[in-house]
């Protein structure tokens, strides 16, 4: 399968070089590597060009718009989407990702390390539309995933969404084709936002909550619901006490509440 890679970046000079080096060392080569730059003020674009990537500019920025711009510049049957700070863990990561698309039922794939309840995922899951609707916060992500180019040409990512354009598109793709999204722990990358600052955590979860509300019929999420989730849901934390005392988790839940108001 011929593969194109789209990398979304903004002020990523500290990480873009490492990511492009990891891609250059893969067992299969991408046909095109496109970096979509959003108003960068550092050397991101210069570093990307020095390592052979094509650089495109987008203004104003949207997550879906950046993906559509980059995908339009890519050749191949499979388009891989990466954040500039998402690092593949193995030299055959790209090859493994593309291999899933030999199955015509696969619409998209993502390196998911945990199941819908936060427990470690031991084997790949073939998520269909019913599974995605049952757990809409779990599934495909453009942070380090791949999608079938022919499906993207039928319908691109929504450019009006503040986030979650990946979940929305994958739901459309699975319902339109009856296909699946492969969630494979072997494709997980080093890409962690759990240590983001409080403001960044709040904004990220508020943005995503607003995005989900744009395509899902969600029940009200009251302040009491946020407090209840903070008290009872330990998520991936080792204990309920750790979950309750983490200020970043409080910021995330506050963002979720603000986005659903």
Same domain, 85 and 208: no
**pLDDT computed for residue 203 by the predictor:** 93
Q: Which two tokens stand for residue 258?
A: 């603000």
Same domain, 113 and 9: yes
Instruction: Quote the CA–CA distance of 88 and 23 in Å, as a whole number.
Output: 8
Instruction: Quote the CA–CA distance of 1 and 28 in Å, as a whole number.
Output: 10
Same domain, 152 and 45: yes
Same domain, 146 and 212: no
**Of the residues 162, 190, 218, the one at which a domain ends:** 190
**What CATH number did the domain enclosing 97 receive?**
3.90.550.10
Same domain, 12 and 53: yes
Domain of 150 in residue numbering reads as 3-190
**Quick check: 245 and 198 in contact, CB under 8 A?**
no
Same domain, 176 and 213: no
- Quick: pLDDT tens for 208-225: 999 999 999 989 999 999
Q: Which residues of the chain have pLDDT under 50?
A: none
Same domain, 185 and 213: no
- Quick: pLDDT tens for 165-212: 999 999 999 999 999 999 999 999 998 766 778 998 999 889 999 999
Same domain, 50 and 175: yes
Q: Which two tokens stand for residue 91?
A: 């030299």
Same domain, 122 and 206: no
**pLDDT computed for residue 41 by the predictor:** 87
Through-space distance between the first and last CA atoms of the chain, rounded to whole angstroms: 44
Percentage of the chain beyond pLDDT 90 is 78
**pLDDT computed for residue 119 by the predictor:** 87
What pTM was estimated for this model as a whole? 0.92
Secondary-structure percent of the chain, ordered helix, strand, coil, rounded to 5: 45, 20, 40
Overall domain count for the chain: 2
Same domain, 174 and 235: no
Instruction: Quote the CA–CA distance of 128 and 123 in Å, as a whole number.
Output: 16
**pLDDT computed for residue 193 by the predictor:** 65
């Amino acid at each position: 399968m011929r593969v194109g890679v789209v990398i979304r970046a903004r002020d990523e000079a500290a990480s873009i070089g490492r990511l492009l080096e990891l891609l250059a060392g893969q067992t299969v080569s991408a046909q095109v590597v496109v970096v979509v730059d959003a108003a960068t003020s550092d050397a991101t674009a210069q570093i990307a060009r020095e390592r052979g990537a094509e650089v495109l500019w987008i203004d104003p920025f949207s997550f879906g718009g950046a993906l559509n711009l980059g995908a339009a510049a890519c050749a191949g049957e499979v388009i891989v989407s990466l954040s500039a700070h998402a690092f593949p863990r193995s030299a055959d990561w790209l090859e493994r990702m593309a291999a899933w698309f030999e199955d015509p039922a696969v619409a998209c794939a993502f390196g998911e390390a945990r199941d819908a309840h936060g427990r470690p995922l031991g084997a790949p899951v073939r998520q269909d539309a019913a599974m995605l609707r049952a757990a809409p916060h779990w599934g495909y992500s453009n942070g380090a995933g791949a999608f079938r180019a022919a499906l993207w040409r039928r319908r691109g990512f929504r450019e009006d969404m503040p986030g979650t354009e990946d979940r929305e598109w994958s739901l459309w793709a699975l319902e339109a084709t009856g296909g699946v999204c492969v969630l494979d722990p072997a494709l997980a990358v080093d890409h962690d936002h759990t240590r983001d600052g409080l403001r960044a955590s709040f904004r990220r979860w508020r943005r995503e909550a607003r995005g989900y509300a744009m395509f899902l019929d969600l029940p009200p999420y009251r302040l009491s619901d946020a407090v209840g989730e903070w008290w009872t849901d330990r998520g991936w934390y080792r204990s309920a006490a750790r979950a309750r005392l983490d200020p970043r988790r409080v910021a995330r839940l506050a963002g979720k509440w603000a986005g659903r108001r």
